[in-house]
Structure 1
Amino acid sequence: MSTRARPAATRLTASQSRAAAHRFPSDGRSAGRARAILRRQLLTWRIGGEAAHSAALLLSELVTNAVTAQAPPAPDIGVRFALSDGRLRLEVRDTSDALPEMKQAEEDEECGRGLVLVNALASGWGIDRDGTGKIVWAELAISSTAPEAHETPPRRLP
């Protein structure tokens, strides 16, 4: 687990956040589907720019890890996005007891860099266990001065 991970006690509750939850099949296409839905949700919340790109990359890594962790035929994975107090929280739930590990991938390896990336991009991340699996989550600080998705560029005066 990351040393920057927040304790589970700071988890955003439904009453204090704007949230959306979705279910996806546990297959290789789910990361792309989850990213597309996240992008639409971020547009609704008027989050764009670097924050939106980082969020999509984080979610993709978390979903890919969840799909990889479950043995076929696997149940659906759950994905939840929550926005509150300048924080965007991304959660991915699967039924596997296997915990993701941060490891140092060799130069020629295709896999193994996901959690290193999550650790570098997220302002915090962690794992919450429940009776049937786990939730791996990552948070991004969303700056109030970040460009919004629907913001029009400044116009030049003649």
Structure 2
Amino acid sequence: MSARAPYAAVTQLPPLVCHLPIDPRSVTRARKALRRRLPEWGVGAEPAGVAELLVSELVTNAVKAPGPAIPVVGVRCAVVGGRLRLEVQDTSEEQPLLHRQVEEDEECGRGLMLVDVLADGWGVVRHVIGKTVWVEVAVEVEVAVGGGGLTYPQTARPVP
């Protein structure tokens, strides 16, 4: 009899990590990189669409407010414990502000409102230089169990 457990351990796929220049084209690059990785993680279509929109908003904000140090935006995305976590790091000291009232003709100011509505959680971590803005989206991922190729959905639970 085998000493192995009856169910295979869930293997955590490595996170998506990229460093992008302070350039408007970096928004598209981040979104495309995430789009390629989401199916590998087993993330469904609806949360994948939300994640692409959220990473676009975060990278757009980082590109528009470059910091004085390094002209690079760091992007890290991973599925951990049934939650998709997206992090965007920049060197700007400017903190993201959630504008509650935006005039109809204003072109900016709605991105964090979208983040606040679509994400299951978000926040900011300050660093000595710059900050990381993170968002989390609850996802169901297909988890392979056993050797027979069976998959079962893994439902996320809210993080306290």
**Match among 87, 90, 96 for residue 92 of structure 2:** 96
2:124 to 127, 135, 138: 127
Runs of 4+ in 1 over 2 A off after TM superposition: 71-74
Consecutive unaligned residues in structure 2, runs of 5 or more:
1-11, 143-160
Equivalent position to 1:26, from 16, 22, 25: 22
What CA distance in whole angstroms lies between the structure 2 residues aligned with 1:21 and 1:108?
A: 36
Give the CA RMSD over aligned residues.
2.0
Q: How does 1:1-150 map to 2 (within 5 A)?
A: 18-70=14-66, 75-103=71-99, 104-144=101-141
1:12-60 superposed Cα distances (whole Å, 9 cap, x missing partner): xxxx774121010011111111000000010211213110000000000
Shift of 1:82: 1.2
> How many residues align structurally?
131
CA contact (8 A) 2:78 2:85 kept: yes
Residue identity matched to 1:139 = E
Aligned-residue sequence identity (percent) comes to: 54
Q: Larger Rg: 1 or 2?
A: 2
Unaligned stretches of 5+ residues in structure 1? 1-15, 146-158
Q: Report the AA paired with residue 142 of structure 1.
A: V
Q: Which one scores higher on RCO, CA 8 angstroms, separation ≥ 6?
A: 1
Q: TM-score, normalised by structure 2?
A: 0.76
